[in-house]
Amino acid sequence: MKPFSIVPLSQIFDKLPNDSLMRTHWKADNLDGSFAAYASSSVDVDALTLDAPFNNENIVVVFVEGNLNIRQYAFNEETDGSCSIIVTGDLSAGSLIVGGQEIYVSGNLEIRELFWGHYNHGDLTVHGHARANVFIETDEYHVNITGKSQWDKHISNWDEDGNWQDITHEIVAPILHADCFEYDEDDDSLILLRTGMYKLLQKGKSLLKKQKPVVAVPSVFGNYEANAANINRLMATKLIPEDKYELILYIDDVKATITRPYDMLGQQRGNSIYLLQDNVYSVFIKLQEDSVSIIYSDDPAEESKWFPLDANAPVVYQNLANHYWPALLKRVEYIESLKKADIKKINQAVEETVTVEKTQNILSLPLITDKYNDYNDADRNGYWQGNFHYAFRVNTDYYDRIQLMAQRSSKTFPLLPTVQDNFDMQGYQFDVVTDDSSTTPYVRVRYKPHNHSGESPYFSSRYLEVYEVDHLEKALRYWKTFEKNIYDDNERFVNPEDVLGSILGSKFDDGNAESYYEELAQQEDLTDKYFTLNGCRFRVITIRQADELVKDILTPGTSDPAYTLLEDIGYGHSNDKTYFLLAEDDVTMDAFELSNDGEEDWQIAGFIFLKDLNLNTYFWSFDTDFSPYVIVKGTLLAKNIYLAGTAFYFNRIQGELLYGFYNHGSLHCNEVDVSLVFADDFEMYIRKISNGFLVHTHCIKTIMQFAEEDGSIETLHDHPVPLTHPIRHVLLNELYSYDPGEKRVNSHLDRGKLYEYFVADKSTVDVSAIGLYTDLPQQLPEIFNAIFSSEQLQKNESVKFDSLVIHGETVEQVFFETFEMEDQAGRQIGLYDFRNATTMRIVHNTQDNTWWCCYDVYSKDFSALQYTVETDINDITLENVGVRYGFARAAKAWNEQFS
C-alpha cells in the first residue's frame, strides 16, 4: 500500500491545523486545481523532492496525520514558492533544504544533519521542541518555535545583537562540505549552493564536515547565587596574580572589582566584590565569616548613602545584582577555561589584520579627509552603513582612531539605566598608539559599551585585555566588514556620476541599493500628474517629495523619525518607477483596499493623506509582505480596519475593530479609539489608548509615565500593555477557529470570512461580550476567603502551579500566597505571563483591609523586575483591566486544580 494518496486539496482542507498558514491564508472555495499528498497515519519515506513531489507539480502540500520520518532528505530548488509539509505529529529527517513554503510541525522537529531555510517566502513553525545538528536561516526566513531550540551549530544573517551580517567563509568553511558553497576570494563573498547540496544528498554523502566535539565551559561554582561558597571560590581564582590582592573584570558596561580578604603580606583588604555600572550605580557584596551582605548606592563616597539591597530597592540596583553577579561568575569561568594558544591566536589575528598601515591608508581616503573629517561634529564624524556607524578621528591631539559602532538590541535596555531615548549602540575603537610597551606605533582595540560622544564619565570606552577573546573576535568581525565596505563607499564618493550612470533604468536589487536611493533623491518634482482611485483624485509625487512631507513625523512619544523614505523604499517594488499618491484635503470613500497598482509603467509606493481619511465601511491591505505605505496626518475613521505588509502611520484611529497581522508590518499612532485592538505578530506603538480592549501576542506598546519623588516625570516609551480579553470572547464565533485541546488564550482568525464581513459592512466585534469585570471588586473577599481558608494554603504560605502549558512549555503560572512585611501583612493572587514577561496581581492588605492591583513588567528573560504599575481596585485603567482578567484566569485555574 502506498503511504500517500494524491487527493484534491479541498478534500482534506478542513483537516489542516487551524493555525497553519495554508489554512489561514488560502480560501476554502478557491482550491480548484490544487492537490495534496495525504497520509492518514505516520509515514516513513526515503526522500521528498518538493518542487514537484511525486512528479506532480500541482501538489501544494504533503500532509501527514501523524509522524513523518524522512530517512534521507527533503529538498526544493525553487524558493519563491514550493510544496509545503504539514504534520500533526513529529517530523524527523536527515536534512531539510527548504524555503518558499510552509513547514508546519505540531510536535517536535529533529534534523539529524542540516536544516537550511532560505528566503522570506518560507516559514517554519514548530509547536514542540526543535533539534538540529546544523541550523541555517538566511534572507529573512521565518522561524517560529514554541518549545526549546537546540542547534549544535547555528548560522544566520542576524548576529547576537540583532544586526544583519553576511554569511562568511570563515563561518561556513569549517562546517559544510566544499560542494555546498561557492567562495569568491577576490571580493570575499560567499553563496550557499542548493544544487551542490542536492547532488551530495543524491549520492548519499554528508553535507557536513566532521566536527570536533565542543567542550563546554566547566562550571566551577555549581550555581550562581551570592553565597559564601561562591564568594570564597571567586576569591581563590587563579586570575588574581600571587603578588596581587585585587582583580578588575568587565561585563559590558559594568566594572567588577574583586578584592581578596588579605594581600600577600597578610594585611586585611576586603573579601568583597564591588559592581559599578557606568560610574553611577554601585552594588557592594561582602562576606563576613559565612554571612553575605549586599548594599547599594549612587554616591559610594558617602557612607550614609549606602542602603541594604532588598525587594524595596530601586529596580536598577536589583538588576545590577540579579544580572551582573551571575554574569561575573560566568565571566570568571569563561576566562579560566581559555587556553593560552587560543588567546595568542586571536591577538595575533587582530595584530596581523588591523595594521597601522591599513588604518592610516583608510584615514587618508577622500571620503574621510574631505567629508567625515571632524570627530567632534555629529554630522561630520562619520556615516551609517546598514546597522553600523563608522566614525573617524585623524590629525588631532589624540590618537588616530577608527570607530565601528553597531545598533544594540532593545532587549538589553532594561539593564542599561543610563541609556536614553530607547536607542543604544555598542562597538569598538581602533587606535593608533605609541606607549611604553612599544617604541613604534601599533593598533590597540578599545570597547565602547554605549553610544555617546560627550564627556560624561559613563559611556566611556576602555582598552581590551589580551584575554578578552570574545570581544576581540567580535571586534575583528566588525573590522573585516568595515574594511570590505569602506573602499567601495569611497569610490562612490569620488565618482558618484559613474555609479549612478551604471544603474539608470535598471531594476532594484541588493547590489545597487545605495545608488538606487541616490537616484530616487535626484528625481525631479512632479507638479501636474494626477491619478484617480475610488473616485478620489490624488497628486502623483516622487519619493523625494514624499520624504519631505513625512520627515517631520515622529514615532509616537519619541524624537525618532517614523519614516526615512529615501532609505526605505525599494524592496518589494520590481518596477523602476515608484511614486506616492498625495491627498491634500479630507478624503471620503466607501472603502479603501491597498494596492501597488498604478499605471502600466509605474507602481504605487505609498499614500499620504494630509488631513482626514473617512471610510464608510472598511480599510484592507491585501499584501502581507509589501503593501504600500499609508500615512494619515489626520484621523482614519473606519468601522473595520485590517493592516498588514508595511509601516502605517495614523495620527488618530477611530472605529470598531483594528486588526494588525504579520511581522512585515507595524503601526505608529498617537491615539487609538476603537472597541477592539487585535495585534497578531504585528508591532503596534500607540501613544494613547483612549478606548478599546486588547487581544495580542505581546506586541502592543504604549507610553507609561511615573512621577518621581522630586516631582519630575519619568517616561517609559516601550510599556507593554496587558492582554485584557481572549479573542474568542469578543469576536463573533464564525470568524475564528478555536481548539480547546490546545488551550490557547488567543485563537486564529479566518481572514477570508473576516473580509466578507468587512465588505458586507457587518459588525465583527461582539460588544456585549466586552466588559470591565465590574463585579470583581465586590467578589474579591469571597474568592480570597474561599482560597486562603483551603487546606492547601493552611499548610503552606504559598501555592504555585502551571496554569497554561502549550506543547510542553509553561506559558502561564498562577500563584497564591500570604506575606508579612515590616508595615503590612496580607495575601495575594496572581498570574505569571511568561510570553509577555509580566505578572498580574491583586493584593489584599489584611491589616487595614485595602485592596489594589499590580501590573509588574520584567526583563524579557524574566530575570529582573523593571517596574510596577499599582492601581486602586476600583480604578478603570488599561493595566487594571488586564490585572482583573489575569486574576480571573488565576482563580479559575485554582478551581480546576482543587475542586
The whole domain housing 647 covers: 525-730
Q: Do strands 84-87 and 59-64 pair parallel, antiparallel, or not at all (unpaired)?
A: parallel
Are 480 and 529 within one domain? no
Q: Say what the pLDDT of residue 692 is.
A: 65
For the chain, the domain total comes to 5
Query: Is residue 829 in a domain?
Result: yes
What number is the average pLDDT over the span 482-498?
A: 79
Percent residues over pLDDT 70 in the chain: 88
Confidence of residue 349 (pLDDT cuts 50, 70, 90): very high
Please indicate whether residue 820 or residue 186 has the higher confidence score (pLDDT): 820
Q: Say what the pLDDT of residue 283 is.
A: 93
pLDDT at 384 over 50: yes
| Range picked from 126-130, 480-484, 693-697 for highest mean pLDDT | 126-130
Confidence of residue 738 (pLDDT cuts 50, 70, 90): low
Q: Say what the pLDDT of residue 575 is.
A: 44
Query: Is residue 886 in a domain?
Result: yes
Domain boundary among 730, 765, 793: 730
Are 386 and 452 within one domain? yes
Are 477 and 373 within one domain? yes
Q: Say what the pLDDT of residue 669 is.
A: 92
pLDDT tens profile 101-119 = 999 999 999 999 999 999 8
Cβ atoms of 378 and 391 closer than 8 Å: no
Q: Say what the pLDDT of residue 574 is.
A: 42
Side-chain-facing half-sphere of 670: CA atoms under 13 Å: 12
Cβ atoms of 881 and 773 closer than 8 Å: yes
Query: Is residue 309 in a domain?
Result: yes
Query: Is residue 248 in a domain?
Result: yes
pLDDT at 169 over 90: no
Please indicate whether residue 446 or residue 522 has the higher confidence score (pLDDT): 446
Are 718 and 785 within one domain? no
Q: Say what the pLDDT of residue 29 is.
A: 74
Confidence of residue 15 (pLDDT cuts 50, 70, 90): very high
pLDDT tens profile 824-873 = 789 999 999 887 889 999 999 998 899 999 999 988 777 788 889 999 99
Query: Is residue 510 in a domain?
Result: no
Q: Do strands 130-138 and 109-118 pair parallel, antiparallel, or not at all (unpaired)?
A: parallel
Neighbour count for residue 316 (Cβ, 10 Å): 20
Angle between helices 315-337 and 228-235 (to 10 degrees): 50
Grid cell listed for 810: 509553561
pLDDT tens profile 232-273 = 999 989 898 888 889 999 988 899 999 998 877 778 788 899
- CA 458, 461, 463: angle at the middle one, nearest 5? 140
Query: Is residue 749 in a domain?
Result: no
What number is the average pLDDT over the span 20-43?
A: 88
Are 314 and 396 within one domain? no
Confidence of residue 697 (pLDDT cuts 50, 70, 90): low
345-363 burial, b for 16+ CB within 10 Å, e for fewer?
ebbeebeeebeeeebeebb
Q: Say what the pLDDT of residue 164 is.
A: 64
Query: Is residue 824 in a domain?
Result: yes
Are 360 and 260 within one domain? no
pLDDT at 523 over 70: no
Please report the sign of the dihedral spanned by the C-alpha atoms of residue 694, residue 695, residue 698, residue 700. Answer: negative
Are 91 and 233 within one domain? no
Are 235 and 345 within one domain? no
Query: Is residue 599 in a domain?
Result: yes
Domain boundary among 337, 371, 391: 337
**Nearest-angstrom CA–CA distance, 48 and 58:** 15
Domain boundary among 697, 714, 730: 730
Are 348 and 330 within one domain? no
HEC string for 729-777 = HHECHHHEECCHHHCCCCCEECHHHHHHHHHCCCCCECHHHCCCCCCHH
Grid cell listed for 742: 490546545
pLDDT at 527 over 80: no
Are 325 and 367 within one domain? no
pLDDT at 137 over 70: yes
pLDDT at 74 over 80: yes
Are 469 and 544 within one domain? no
pLDDT tens profile 611-643 = 999 999 999 998 887 889 999 999 999 999 999
Q: Say what the pLDDT of residue 891 is.
A: 92
pLDDT tens profile 754-783 = 888 999 999 998 888 888 888 889 999 999
Are 842 and 713 within one domain? no
